Amino acid sequence: MSLAQEISKRRTFGIISHPDAGKTTLTEKLLLFGGAIQEAGAVKNNKIKKGATSDFMEIERQRGISVATSVLAFIYKDKKINILDTPGHKDFAEDTFRTLTAVDSVIVVIDVAKGVEEQTEKLVSVCRMRNIPMLVFINKLDREGKDAFDLLDEVEQKLGLTVTPMSFPIGMGYDFKGIYNIYESNINLFSGDSKKNIEDTLAFDDVNSPELEKIVGSTQANALRENLELVQGVYPPFDKDAYLKGNQQPVFFGSALNNFGVRELLDCFIDIAPTPRPKKAEERIVEPSEKALTGFVFKIHANMDPKHRDRLAFIKIVSGTFERNKPYLHVRNNKKMKFSSPNAFFAEKKEIVDISYPGDIVGLHDTGNFKIGDTLTEGESLHYKGIPSFSPEHFRYINNADPLKAKQLNKGVDQLMDEGVAQLFTLELNGRKIIGTVGALQYEVIQYRLEHEYGAKCSYENFPVYKACWVVPEDKNNEEFKEFSRIKSKFLAKDKRGQLVFLADSAFSLQMTQQKYPTVKLRFTSEAEL
């Protein structure tokens, strides 16, 4: 099969939402419909101690939340689907933001009862900034929730989207009868049987037919006709070009837990979703159809298999083909590297692949060569943009709680920081180590993983910092920078890459520093701004 045919087969997307909107459950059901798994694990069912397929870290199973992005791949209707299931919890948002650099489109999951929530707004604003095509799935229709039109209005107003319904519910909650699929002109009846894998659909070209009353009853039939008339009058018809440019967002309704409306979503998705898209590098725009390989690291994960202490770098292939045992240039280190066992993913299950194509996510065994944002090419010096490290919002000293395990603690902290779960700062004054995170829950995850994956114990101590700012002086030799370094010495630290960081203790202190030392530029991300 040619490179162009392989590219046209691929769909790589992320699933984003506020916590508990049903994102991981939807991922499970997509896998179920794709035939990739035989039975879905109920995420919150503790009786059978079986977590969702994509929540493979032990702490995720215990807490019932996703704390790291997982990659899952399967074939559906001759299309290769790569799903990146992201954490919804705001404390792990940085992992999600980075993952959004590796997807070609996104499915946004919204809870029918809660509507648009805060974390959804933040994630959608990042997608809009990058013009990522978005598809909206309104979930949990078998529960009592907001009116469908109210939800559509909320999505438009709060998220700034231009929606077009592709399906519409017949009733809701206790009165929920099913869904009319506008895209395929059929009715899908809801049985309420969550064990049922595939639902029955009835082709229904004409909603004015008296047959509709026999199927859903006269009240619901009349309500559906009125609603569909309103949909046609209020919302624009589906325009694939507008969707692909990020200017229009199709909306589906369903219940992921009951496998309901998921097949419609998946069928429409593989039909309309973009194939791998061009990506902007600092030097130029790279097209997927180019023969030479380029790819970038968007995630590093240590100990996916705790027995082997392995560390994997996740690489999104942007162009060309990635072949096993072929040498590629690691641009930042300027050295050639070969990979004898590149992996394809199915959550924590991995298999070695000989060749991968644009859109695919490949896992490379890493002994510490890779950092997030690194580029692999066949020789060209390319740097992909927009994989940021955000300024942390929480700061704590990290102390060793077991003096006999200092080596394990240092190794564990070093590897976890490379994953991007948090950032490590070493104070210039006394060499004490500070961990900065975007959310407080990260400290619990770090502590848990240090103990269970590295056999090291740590304790934390509060460190009052308002913001970490990366220092970019216009001239390191001028008097202003020297004075800044002297006066602020106890607030200066180095990050893991050796970059100088100013740890401002208050908003006032930060403002005064910026006014007093105008030639010392302070930045809130360590890399290129989004």
Kindly report, residue by residue over 348-362, the tens digit of the pLDDT.
466 788 888 999 888
Same domain, 364 and 285: yes
Q: Which domain holds residue 123?
A: 3-174+237-272
| pLDDT tens-digit map of 198-228 | 445 666 666 777 777 777 778 888 888 888 8
Would you say residue 331 has pLDDT above 80?
Answer: yes
Residue-wise burial string across 403-436, b where 16 or more C-beta atoms lie within 10 A, e elsewhere = eebeebbebbbebbbbbbbbbbbebbeeeebbbb
Q: Does pLDDT of 194 surpass 90?
A: no
State percent of the chain over pLDDT 70.
Answer: 82
Same domain for 51 and 153: yes
pLDDT beyond 70 at 309: no
pTM of the model: 0.73
One domain, residues 18 and 148:
yes
Q: What is the pLDDT of residue 32?
A: 77
Question: Which residue's entry shows tokens 């130029």?
Answer: 284
Residues of the chain above pLDDT 90, percent: 18
Residue 250, pLDDT > 90, answer yes
Work out how many domains the chain is built from and give that number.
Answer: 3
Per-residue confidence (pLDDT) for residue 304, from 0 to 100: 53
pLDDT digits (tens, 9 = 90+) for 11-25: 988 888 877 777 678
Indicate which CATH number applies to the domain containing 294: 3.40.50.300
CATH number of the domain encompassing residue 422: 3.30.70.3280
504 part of a folded domain: yes
Higher pLDDT, 85 or 229: 229
Nearest to 384 by CA among 274, 245, 277: 277
pLDDT at site 86:
66
- Based on the domain organization, do 170 and 267 belong to the same domain? yes
Query: Is residue 294 situated within a structural domain?
Result: yes
Point out the domain boundary residue: 219, 250, 272.
Answer: 272
Query: What average pLDDT does the structure give for the chain?
Result: 80
Residue 196 counted as domain residue: no
**Gap between the Cα atoms of 385 and 376, Å rounded:** 14
410 shares a domain with 303: no
Q: What is the pLDDT, as a whole number, of residue 529? A: 36
Q: Are residues 161 and 303 in the same domain?
A: no
Report the candidate in 422, 423, 425 with the shortest Cα–Cα distance to residue 433: 425
Taking residues 458-484, what's their average pLDDT? Answer: 87
Least confident range of 114-118, 337-341, 503-507? 114-118
My answer on whether 326 and 406 are in the same domain is no
Confidence category of residue 89, pLDDT binned at 50, 70, 90: very low
- The answer to whether 300 touches 418, Cβ cutoff 8 Å, is yes
**pLDDT tens across 375-406, in order?**
999 988 888 865 555 667 789 999 998 888 88
Measure the CA–CA gap between 284 and 233, rounded to whole angstroms. 43
Residue 291 sits in the same domain as residue 153: no
Whether 439 and 91 have beta carbons less than 8 Å apart is answered as yes
Q: What is the mean pLDDT of residues 490-496?
A: 89
Task: Tell me the per-residue pLDDT of 432-450, one tens digit each, with 9 for 90 and over.
Answer: 999 988 777 778 888 888 8
What is the maximum alpha-carbon separation in the chain? 86
Looking at 377, 409, 426, which one is the last position of a domain?
377
Domain boundary among 214, 245, 272: 272
pLDDT for the residue 114: 87
pLDDT of 45 > 50? The answer is: no
